Every structure is written in C-alpha cells, then in structure tokens.
Amino acid sequence: MSPKIKSSDGEIKSVNNFLRVLPHVWPYRRKVFLSMFFALVVALFWALNISMTFLVVKVFLEGQSIENYVQTEIDESKKAVENYSAKVKVRQDNINKLELENEPDTSSRYVEQVKERSKYQTKLDTASSKLNTMMSIRLHVLPWIPRDRFDTLVCIFLLLVVATIGKGVCTYSQDVLVGSVVELTTMSIRKECFRKCLALDFQSLKQKGTADIMSRFTNDIQVLGGGLRLLGGKVVREPLKAIACISMAFYVSWQLTLLSMVFAPVVGLFFYRIGKNLKQASKRVMESMSLIYKTLEETFDSFKVVTAFNGGRKQRVRFHKENKAYFKKALKIVKIDALTSPTTEILGIFATFVGLLPGAYLVLRETTTIWGVTLSPTPLHIADLSLLYAALAGIIDPARKLSTTYAKIKRATAAADRVYELIDIQTLVKEPETPRKMPRLSKEIEFSNISFRYASFNESDALRPPALKNINLKIEAGEVIAVVGENGSGKSTLVNLIPRFYDPSDGTVHIDGVELREAKLEDLRSQVGVVTQETLLFDQSIRENIGYGMPGATKEEILSASIQAHVTQFVEELPDGFETSVGDKGQKLSGGQRQRIALARAILRDPSILILDEATSAIDTLSEKLIHEALKTFVKGRTTFIITHSIDQGLLDIISRIVVMEQGEVIATGTHEELIQSCFLYQRLFSHQNKTGTISLDDPSQTGEDDNMDNERKTAG
C-alpha cells in the first residue's frame, strides 16, 4: 500500500509529483499556449457580455441614448480635466514658493503640497484617460450605432448573441486543444510507467502485484488526466473570467470592490482545511480500487477452481465487501465535493451584498462617502451600480466552477503520488556503470559462497529464512545439470541467479571469469534460453511466439526450430498453420503444444545456457517424450539446467550430473550412479522409482520418510 503522507513535507512532495508531469506536457506547449489564448478571448467575451448591462440600463431604464451618454461623459470629463489641472497648477505653484523660501518650518507644508499635487495629478490622469476614451468612442463607434433607442437596444442584444457565440467557439476550441494535450500526456506517462516496469527486477514487480500495477496504469492515470484537463481548461479559463470581472468592478469603484473581498480569506481557509482530508481520502479510494482489481484478477485467473468448488458465492461476497469499502471511502469525497459548490456560492453572495449595499447607499443618498470614508471618486448612478453588481455576480460563476474542480485536483495530486511512486521504484538488479564484455560461455559457470534472501518489503518478509545458504558450485560448459529437490528447496532460485532475475545477497556468480553484476544485462540474457513450468505465450500467432526472442528470424529459421521441438506435428493440422493465433495465454492449445512452442522459442535463440524450470511437470507423457527427444540433440554443446522434482529414464539419458538441494543448500552432486552410492535422499528416491517408475521429490510421504528422517539423513551424511 502507498505510504500515508501526513506532514507538510508530504504536501510539498505531492505538488512536486504533480509538477513532474510538466516534462510530458512540454512537447505540446504550442497547443497549451494556443489554448491559453482562447481562454483569454473567452474571458474578454465574458466581460463584454457583462458590460452590456450598463448600456441596457442606460438605454432601456434611464431612457438615455448612447450618443447623449457619450457626450455627457465628454463634457464632464472636460470639466474634471480643467478642475484637476487648475488644482495641480495651484499645488505646483505652492511647491515652487516653498522651495524659494528655503526655511525649516516649511518642510511639513512642502510634503503636504507634494502629496496633494500627486493626488490631483492621479485624478487628472484618470479624467484625461476617460476623456480620450469617450472621444475615441464618439469618433469611431457612434457612427455605427443607430440613433433610435429601440434600434440601439436591438444592436446591444445582437452584440450579446455574437459575443456568446464567439465565447462558445473559443471554449470549444480550448477544450479540444486541452483534451488532445491531456491524452498525449497521459499516453506518455503510461509509456514511461511501462518502461519503468520492464526495467524492474522480478521481486520488485511481483511485490507490487499485477492488480495494483494495473490500477495505477488505468484508474490512477485516468484520474491524473482528469486533473490535467481541469488545469488546462477551467483552472485557466475561469480565473481569467474572474479577473476580467474584478477589473471591471475596480473600474467602477475599487473601494466597494475591496469591501466585497473581505470573504476571500474565509474561502481560502475553507479550501485549505478540506484539502488535506480530500487528498488522504483520495489515496484511500485508489488503494481500495486496487483491491477490487485484485479480486477480479484472482477470480478470473482461478475461474476453474471457483467453478469446481462452487466458490461463486464466496467470490461475490468478497467482491461485494471490497465494493462496499470503496463506496464508503468514495462517499466521503462526494460529500466534501458536494459541500464546496454551495459554500462558495453562499460566500459569493455575501461578498456581493457587502459591496452592493454600500453602493446602493451611495446611489440613493447621492453621496460619495459613508461615515466620512470616501467609497467613490465621483457620484454613482444606477447604471454604475448595475454594472458593479453584474461584475461581482460575474465573479461568482467562475468561483463556483473552480470550487467543483478542487476535489478533482486533489484526487489528481493523489493519483500523481501513486503513479510516480511506481516510476520511482529502484530496481534491485542494476546495470553496471562500466560493463565488461560478456563472451559466449565456453569454460564454466561458478557459484561462489552464494547466499540469498528475498528482499524485505515489510516486517513479515524480514522474518523469512534465507532461500539459499553458502552454496559453492562449478558447472563446466556443455554439462547438462539436473537440479532436484523438494518444493521450496531453492533449486529455481539458484538457477534464476544466472539470467539475473535476482542478485545474490552474498557471494558471486561468474561466467568464464566475468562476474554477472559486471556484465550488461542485455548481453548476459542474450545467451540464456528459458522454458518455464507455466508456459507463457502471447495472444499472437504461433510464428510470432516462436520468434519472440529473435525479432529478425527468417521463416526458415523458425521452421527449423519448430521441427526440432516437434511443433510442426500439430501445426500442420491447423487451418492457418503458423499464423494460427494461440489465444489469451495460449488457451487455444493444449499444455503439451504450448510447451513445445516455448521450447522452439528457446531453440531459435541458440542460447549457450538453457534453463528448463519444471518444463515437463504439467504436460502429457507423449509431449514429455517428444521434448526429451528434442533435448537429446539440442543440449549438445550448450550448458543446460533442468530443474525438476522427478527424474525418469528419459532425463537420465540426457543429464550428465545431478545437483540435490534441500532447504537452500546443495547436499550432494554427482552422476546418478555416484548419488545412488553416497546420497541417502537420492537412495530413497531411487528406491521409490523402482516401484513407480519415477523418482518423486515433491511428496516426502511417497518416499517413505518418517519422523526419524532428519536423523537418518545426518547418519548417512
């Protein structure tokens, strides 16, 4: 399970993990910048629509034409410019006089006059800017506006329609651009996760489990993509709309606008408090989803067992339990998410009223101050108040939409934690910094003082006994070694050190004097062919499965390997021959057929080292016989390890030496004849073979072992 993050460092880590997505976004930055441009245009259209409120009130309610309004504003602006110019001139003259007097008692008066001049200069600049704007409107806009009030109102409504359509087109364009960037980004992240998983060692990958990894590849990356979509869409667009409205409100009265923002800290505190709960709840939901994946995986992978033992009800109960746990955790997020939108709206209404009520007081009382505090530089009209209200109300909609994204953004940060937790896993089997050249095996494989303990991912793992203990073993090139022992004796673990599925905890493994950890993994594994007990085939054609380890293999080479492995015997009977699809995990073929394809895959690679891990334990007698026949010729000139819990005459005809293992130790090595004379365990097994025709090392009860077995072994030793 993912570690619980409770400290502020954890919050910083989450933000950093989310920011790690940026390199995946950067290749598509042009689309991102273009989407931002469309977001800005949407904000401008939004502000334009709201500003129409002012014109509608002027034309429809106050009965004033646009032309008269513009002319009135020009006249008032001219008067204001003249007034403020005169006041600035007076203050400047006073400053000049005080500078000429050059007396100490004039310093305070001097500072006061400078401040007054600065204040009136600011008002003069504002009035001049407004005058220039109105003059420009009269020159360039008024000629296009009809004189009739109704016609003017129709033009205003048409402008609203055009602006709304334009806003919709830009919103659509932005969402499409953001959507394409998000899909490309999540695809890139998914590919990085896949590359990372393929680079992991066997232990680390298995510790996470298929269900947990699949959950991160699907659900978590999907949630992360949803957060990215919001960040590129609403989180960019809605603040721009709010900023446009705030700017408009500040233009009407910055004092009243600031009053309306007294609730902003309350909103910030509210979202900060729920943020931590949201993130923790989101991580628990994703972990719960992993358990649902695990239940599904185990049910369908073990469907024969579930069916044969009437386990359907048990699996349904388990599935229901996991779904119920998921529901409870997800419901907490739903409740928090549902709370954010109405809370934001309520606080927004309060904020609007805090700004609107004083504004209404100024309009109705025809004043610019309340309790001696100036709240507007000039008297407000009903149209100004309407525009202020529309602007403040226009902020509520973006704020409400942003509040609904908060929970999803928090879920996305939690998803980023889980995704990058997978990406950050360090493999236990590392590539050497300066690899040595790995020659093709020609001399020997040497295990020197090998001990191995499986990696500890939790406390219970640390208590497990070592799988291998102080093993020393030399294998000459070309030998065919049978590694036998009971289940859990360490025989597979020992041989799996050769392709570096694991690295030993202590000791070294050498091939022709080269320590395996000093060789490049690709070079090492190119010499190894593996056939496992559980035949692993891909849902592709027989030809593709055989040629999996040799992508450039010709049809003739594939055919030659198939003949050696006796694959052609059944392929010729199939309608599509080598192009026949084997189905999911090779389910369209029998166990023996699958195993022969796996052997052909290994043969095609022409490995110097061949590993057969219980390769014939789960197939029929005929297939086993055919595989043994294939091995008789193929093992010549190459080093072969046959891991098995049973030995029959077919194997004895192939193997040159036997290694007997027990509880992680090599207790005996030698030929069949030597072990019959010296190894008590092997003697007992051979005695059992005379009765059954097969030496079985898997079931101690079949070999006649009793409670005194350990003492007898010690005596024999």
Indicate if 325 and 255 belong to the same structural domain.
yes
Residue 490: DSSP 8-state? S
Q: Is residue 684 part of a domain?
A: no
**Domain edge (last residue) among 606, 622, 639:** 606
Q: Among 76, 250, 80, 233, which residue's Cα sits nearest to residue 170?
A: 233
Residue 61 confidence (pLDDT): 62
Same domain, 350 and 278: yes
Would 168 be classed as within a structural domain? no
From residue 656, alpha-carbon distances to 218, 283, 498, 629, 636 in Å are: 49, 56, 19, 16, 11
Domain co-membership, 309 together with 234: yes
If asked whether residues 262 and 113 sit together in one domain, one would say: no
**Is 243 part of any domain?**
yes
* Segments of the chain scoring below 70 in pLDDT: 1-15, 58-64, 102-106, 149, 263, 267-268, 271-272, 275-276, 304, 372, 377-378, 458-463, 617-619, 684-717
Q: Which two tokens stand for residue 127?
A: 């009035």
Q: What is the DSSP letter of 667?
A: E
DSSP string, 87-140: HHHHHHHHHHHHHHH--GGGHHHHHHHHHHHHHHHHHHHHHHHHHHHHHHHHHH
Number of domains in the chain: 3
Q: Both 362 and 306 in a single domain?
A: yes
- CATH number reported for the structural domain that contains residue 555 in this entry: 3.40.50.300
4, 196, 437, 539, 564 from 536: Cα distances, Å: 36, 21, 30, 10, 20
Note down the domain range covering 110.
75-144
Edge-to-edge strand list for the sheet holding 639-644: 528-531, 609-613, 639-644, 480-485, 657-662, 665-670
pLDDT in tens, 226-273: 999 988 998 899 899 989 988 888 887 777 778 777 767 776 677 667
Domain-located, residue 549: yes
| Residues 224 and 105 occupy one common structural domain | no
The CATH number given to whatever domain includes residue 327 is: 1.20.1560.10
Widest CA span in the chain: 130
Residue 521 lies in a domain: no
Same domain? For 121 and 248 the reply is no
Is 120 in the same domain as 245?
no
One domain for residues 131 and 199: no
10 Å Cβ neighbour count for 608? 20
In this structure, is residue 329 part of a structural domain?
A: yes
pLDDT of residue 611: 92
- Is 205 in the same domain as 346? yes
Residue 150: inside a domain = no
Task: Indicate whether 326 belongs to any domain.
Answer: yes
Q: Are 281 and 332 in contact (CB under 8 A)?
A: yes
**Which ranges of 424-475 would DSSP assign to H, the alpha helix?**
459-462
379, 402, 423: which is the final residue of a domain? 423
Amino acid 4: pLDDT:
37
Which of these three, 582, 606, 630, is where a domain ends?
Answer: 606
**Residue 297 shares a structural domain with residue 362:** yes
**What's the pTM value of the predicted model, to 2 decimals?**
0.74
